Amino acid sequence: MTISRAPWDEMKKPDRDYTVRYATPPGDVSLCWGKDEQGLCLFIVQLEGDHTDQFRKNITNVSGIAVDLRQLPESGKQGLILALEKHVDRDLFNGLCQTLIGNLDGVADPAVALEVALNHIKRWKAFLAGKRTRVLSIGEVRGLFSELNFLRTLRGEHLADARAVDAWCGPDRTHQDFIFGNTAVEVKSISERDRSTVHVTSEDQLESVSEHLFLNIYYLTEVSERASAQSLNELVSAVEHELIDAEAIEEYWKKLASYGYVEIREYDSPKLLVKGSNTYRVSEGFPRLVRSELPDGLVDVKYSLQLEKIAPFECKRSEIWGN
């Protein structure tokens, strides 16, 4: 993480109970940083009223973060208390809490604030249960950004919510990023600095058991002032709001967690804009290295394709749906 100092750095460990420092002004919903007598880092959402039933119905247990709702004698409010257990990265916990502060900004209704917080905790659970609890690299951000753009198109032009999300296989580390019906699609991104080649990261990406295989390339550019540009966080949110089916939304967040994504401020930048895209049919004669044709003992193959050499295989994206 790029956060250099955490709010708990200058907080002393109390002799009993815990000490707090307000992150937002006191009110019906107040947010605090805290440290308890064991030295554990805390984040506290103070809530006016009694929300015990709502908490019990929606509580989620998270590996590495203790979650509790208790009465706060000092303020007379209830407190949703998140305690960081030692085997989870503190900077990551800080980033998660900072994002929660941003999402609770302007929320004055305690019941709504609790609902927002518990929804975030549910997403944290899926993320922290995965193997990739780190900040995504810029290449991974671009890759996820491109896959989400294709998911939007797939849902908008071809499949209903649940089937579109189910077709997204990139987070599952299968050979291709999307598989539906008798069609597979590998999605790639190219930056402004690398316009002439596209990188293939394994011998399996351009070989499929599906009858039809396509390569879809997005050209991404970083901009700061274009209204149409989006950060990864903004695109993730936009896709979520376009989905209507509740089960599809839940599966969508599970796949994001599998990819290694959880909403944190690091993904508020860069702002990316799709400048264009090209689709290629991977058919006989397409230049590629595939597992079935490699010499015995040769594995973990990575190579680059020259775009000018695969130009004869370019096709309209509508051919993907035509299958």
In angstroms, how far is the first alpha carbon of the chain from the final one? 43
- If 0-12 CB within 10 Å is exposed, 13-18 middle and 19+ buried, where does residue 190 land? buried
Q: Residue 50 pLDDT > 50, yes or no? A: yes
Predicted confidence at residue 323, as pLDDT, reads 59
Predicted confidence at residue 120, as pLDDT, reads 93
Q: Report the share of the chain in percent with pLDDT over 90.
A: 74
Q: Which long-range contacts (CB under 8 A, 24 or more apart) does 99-108 make?
A: 99/263, 99/264, 99/265, 100/31, 100/43, 101/23, 101/24, 101/31, 102/265, 103/263, 104/24, 104/29, 104/31, 104/45, 105/24, 107/29, 108/27, 108/28, 108/29
For residues 143-159, give the mean pLDDT: 95
Model-level pTM? 0.87
Predicted confidence at residue 73, as pLDDT, reads 81
Tens digits of residue pLDDT in 218-260: 999 998 777 789 999 999 999 999 999 999 999 999 999 999 9
Distances (CA, A) of 15 to 36, 38, 66, 74: 8, 9, 21, 16
Instruction: Please name the residue ranges forming H helices in the chain.
Output: 52-58, 90-104, 110-128, 138-157, 161-167, 232-242, 246-259, 307-310, 318-322
Question: Reduced to 3 states, what is the DSSP secondary structure of residue 188?
Answer: strand
Q: Residue 2 pLDDT > 70, yes or no? A: no
Predicted confidence at residue 3, as pLDDT, reads 44
Mean per-residue pLDDT over the chain, rounded:
91
Q: Residue 163 pLDDT > 50, yes or no? A: yes
Cα–Cα distance between 269 and 89 in angstroms, integer? 22
Predicted confidence at residue 88, as pLDDT, reads 63
Cα–Cα distance between 220 and 230 in angstroms, integer? 11
Do 206 and 290 contact (CB within 8 A), yes or no?
yes
Cα–Cα distance between 61 and 147 in angstroms, integer? 30
Do 282 and 206 contact (CB within 8 A), yes or no?
yes
φ, ψ of residue 186 to 5 degrees: the values are -100, 125
For residues 192-206, give the mean pLDDT: 88
Tens digits of residue pLDDT in 63-112: 889 999 999 987 789 999 999 986 668 888 999 999 999 999 999 999 99
Name the nearest CA neighbour of 108 among 167, 171, 37, 25. Answer: 25
